[in-house]
Amino acid sequence: MGHGKYVIPSIASVSPIVVQAGEVLNLEFVVLPGESKDITVFVELAGPGAEAHLKGLYLCNGDEQVHFRILMHHRAPGCHSTQLFNGIAGGRAQVHFDGTIVVAPDAQQTQAYQENHNIVLTDTAKVETKPQLEIYADDVKCSHGATVGQLNENELFYMRSRGIPEKEAKTLQMLSFLSPVIPEGREEEILLSLHHVLE
Amino acid sequence: MAEDIIRQFTSSEYKEGFVTDVEQEFIPKGLNEDIVRLISRRKEEPEWLLEFRLDAFRKWQAMPQPDWAHLDMPEIDFQDIIYFAAPKKDKERPKEIDPKLAETFDKLGIPLQERDVLAGVVAVDAVFDSVSVTTTFRKTLAEKGIIFCSFSEAVKEHPDLVRKYLASVVPSSDNFFAALNSAVFSDGSFCYIPKGVRCPMELSSYFRINARGTGQFERTLIVADEGSYVSYMEGCTAPMRDEQQLHAAVVEIVVEKDADVKYSTVQNWYPGDADGKGGILNLVTKRGICKGSGSHLSWTQVETGSAITWKYPSTILKGDFSSSEFYSVAVTNNHQQADTGTKMIHLGRGTKSRIVSKGISAGVSQNSYRGLVRMGRHAQNARNFSQCDSLLIGSRCGAHTFPLIQSQNPTATVEHEATTSKISEDQLFYCNQRGIGPEDAVGLIVNGYAREVLSRLPMEFAVEAQKLLQVSLEGSVG
């Protein structure tokens, strides 16, 4: 490096999940209402062509504190990583998302994507999101996106004008918002939790 | 061949790097309460301002220098800096501008004579090291009730206004460098637009560092009263030197109800040589407050200079339905480092903000975007959109994005997106094949990439900025 400082967040002290050449890592997280969670994940893409795909879902409607800390370290060339975290915060919940992608100086041809989308339901809930990119190589495709918003009024109106009750319409909206991150076979469970959140 | 080009440009292209040979007065090196008193006395300041400085100085002494930025900051010896340097006035003709100074600003393309063609639309406050040399068009502006003068004059002529607004946006204890500035600030611009007045010309400040071993600590205060409008520009340059020089400024902007302020900067400090020797350390605090409802503040910045940039122009959106924008292009080449971005603090109902940041890194430089968007509890229906793109030229540079989004309101909407990419071989090939050389092609692509920001600049600045982008990146291909 010589010049400039190379910052890696403090979670680097956690032992990393090392993904070697040709390996694929899939991780899925689900945080349901009533659970306070502090989730720290450190992934190291150590061999050329390694892949890591992370998905996360969180649903809070009480006093939960949910904290995600993700570090995706691209150390080898040609690696591919995706991250998608979608969540809904109601009640007095506090949600923090800290996600960092680091691309080391020689990790050319890296593809790294990160997304974090949030819906805030109450004015006592708090969402803080910190998607970060640290890139030291030039031949890379990296992007991140983060949004914090609410359920779309127009969608709600559309459904209600067609006879769908408000609660059901909202459930459908939330379900569609979360659907990309719902693990296979857990749809029923999530649906139940959504009903719970709206009560 | 490529190395030749790099050497040529880095050694010769910073054309503002000359030194003006003018007799100057200095105060002794170092920083202590006596120095603060000396600066205050020299500027014949009232007691309250001296108290303000001393208070800030005491706070500064207790503060540690921040190190959270993504910068490799050299140790700054605050005792090894001269805090005040002024060109000597000719005793026989105290009212006139030293021809050498006039010549300097002329060479920089800054009109100090009101008859100049360009001057017809721009009023200039020219600051040379620690003092303001002259402010043009004061009379024309005064007819409309607009006050535009150097900070020192404002303290003497409009003490009530200065006292009311000074440090109302950036308190002296805000941060390490703001505290330092509050203690030792020398000169800068003061601008007040009265109720309902639309400023007929662009107001501009030009900051020039000349003396060796000094630092520049200017303070700018802009107040736009109800329903007024002003477009304000800031430019700056410094000579080429082996030593690094400190520039720690504070800019405060107060925007009252329905007022509109447009603030544009083209930062062209000396960036240091190809080996990272010398250059300006630009450690600046800029903040505005949209105080009244319906007020609007727009920041546009083009950063090509300085060895290290630490700068986050921010807006506090306090008034209901107020809005703010931040457009930025930051270019780093060779060993330059930039950690820049913005803060949008949404407090009022229906407040809106938009952030467009374009970073370009080349050589072995490091370029970071750091931003904060906060939606307060009462920011009903507030809205923010942020876009931060990075362009990498060369495999040894770095581009980083550190946004922070905090939302405490269920009706607020925040969107952030960032991408990182490089100039593709295809784009270059396309240009080369049509007879456009590699450097021109990069210039073309970069200008296209930064267009969204450049198009926001006032006309005079836009032309200069486009040229600057080209020059800053020359030698970075091949």
**ipTM of the predicted structure?**
0.82
**If you write DSSP's letter for every residue of A120-146 in order, what string do you get?**
E-STT-EEEEEEEEEE--SSEEEEEEE
B394 touches chain A (CB under 8 A): yes
- Return the DSSP state at B306: -
Contact present, B364 and A137 (Cβ < 8 Å): no
Residue type for position B66 = P
Instruction: Flag whether residue A154 sits within 8 Å of chain B, measured between CB atoms.
Output: no
> Residue B419's closest chain A neighbor by CA?
A143
Those of residues 259-318 in B touching chain A at CB distance below 8 A are 276
Please judge whether A135 and B413 are an interchain contact, meaning their C-beta atoms are less than 8 angstroms apart: no
Q: In this structure, what DSSP letter does residue B116 have?
A: S
Say if CB B337 and CB B365 are below 8 A apart. Answer: yes
Question: What is the pLDDT at residue B297?
Answer: 96
Look at the block and give the residue holding tokens 């430019």: B235
Residue numbers in A near B401 (CB within 8 A)? 131-133, 144
Q: What DSSP line would sit under B311-355, residue for residue?
A: E--EEEE-STT-EEEEEEEEEE-TT-EEEEEEEEEE-STT-EEEE
Q: Is B411 on the interface with A (CB under 8 A)?
A: yes
Q: What is the pLDDT along chain B (478 residues), one digit of tens a residue?
A: 334 433 443 334 677 777 887 778 888 888 999 999 999 998 889 999 999 999 999 999 999 998 888 888 888 889 988 898 887 765 555 566 777 777 777 777 776 765 554 445 677 888 887 777 777 788 888 889 999 998 988 999 999 999 999 999 999 999 999 999 999 998 889 999 999 999 988 888 888 888 888 888 989 999 999 999 999 988 887 788 788 889 999 999 999 999 999 999 888 888 888 888 888 899 999 999 999 999 999 999 988 878 999 999 999 999 999 999 999 999 888 889 999 999 999 999 999 999 999 999 888 899 999 999 999 999 999 999 999 999 988 888 889 999 999 999 999 999 999 988 888 888 889 999 999 988 888 888 888 888 888 888 877 677 777 777 777 776 665 4
CB A5 to CB B72 under 8 A? yes
Q: Of residues B129 and A35, which shows the higher confidence score?
A: A35
> The pTM is what?
0.86
Distance CA A149, CA A136 (A): 32
Residues of A in contact with B375 (CB under 8 A): 148
The answer to whether A136 touches B390, Cβ cutoff 8 Å, is no
Q: According to the model, what pLDDT value does residue B446 have?
A: 85
Q: Which residue on chain B is closest to A115 by alpha carbon?
A: B417
Question: Could you tell me the two tokens for B67?
Answer: 């190190």
Distance CA A184, CA A188 (A): 10
| Chosen from A134, A138, A142 to mutate, greatest number of chain B CBs within 10 A | A138
Q: Cα separations (Å) of B309 from A137, B118, B186, B267, B286?
A: 21, 30, 21, 10, 13
Could you give the residue ranges of the DSSP H alpha helices within B202-262? none
Rounded Cα distance between B297 and B324, Å, is 5
Q: Are strands B131-135 and B122-128 parallel, antiparallel or unpaired?
A: antiparallel
> Using a CB-CB distance cutoff of 8 angstroms, which residues of chain A are in contact with residue B406?
126-128
Q: What are phi and psi of B8, to 5 degrees?
A: -60, -50
Nearest CA in chain A to B421: A141
- Is residue B200 within 8 Å of residue B231, measured between CB atoms? no
A-proximal residues of B, 238-257, CB under 8 Å:
none
User: So what's the pLDDT on residue A9?
Assistant: 57
Instruction: List CB contacts (< 8 A) between A2 and chain B.
Output: 364
Dihedral angle at the C-alpha atoms of B60, B63, B67, B69, nearest 10 degrees?
A: -60
CA distances from A95 to A64, A88, B227 (A): 8, 9, 40
Q: Shortest CA distance to B336 belongs to which of B116, B71, B21?
A: B71
> How many Å from the N-terminal Cα to the C-terminal Cα in chain A?
55
CA angle B128, B129, B134 (to 5 degrees): 25
The string of DSSP codes covering B382-401 is -EEEEEEEEEEESTT-EEEE
Task: Determine the average pLDDT of the residues in A106-123.
Answer: 93
- Helix axes B176-184 and B47-61, enclosed angle (nearest 10): 150
User: What's the pLDDT at B11?
Assistant: 39
Contacts of A7 in chain B (CB under 8 A): 70
Q: With an 8 Å Cβ cutoff, is A108 touching chain B?
A: yes
If you search the block for the tokens 């001057």, which residue do you land on? B119
Q: What is the DSSP letter of A63?
A: S
Min distance B102 CA to chain A CA atoms (Å): 39
Structure tokens at B260: 């509109």
Question: Helix (H, G, I), strand (E, B), or coil: what is residue B181?
Answer: helix
Return the residue of B nearest to A146 by Cα: B416
Per CB-CB distance under 8 Å, the chain B contacts of A139 are 395, 422
Q: Which residues of chain B lie closer than 8 angstroms to A135, CB-CB?
A: 390, 392, 398-400, 420
d(CA B328, CA B356) in angstroms, rounded, equals 6
The token pair at B325 is: 């924008």
Q: CA-to-CA distance for B415 and B384, rounded, in angstroms?
A: 6
CA distance A112 to chain B (A): 10
DSSP per position, A81-125:
EEEEEEEEE-TT-EEEEEEEEEE-TT-TTEEEEEEEEEEE-STT-
- The DSSP output letter for B211 is S
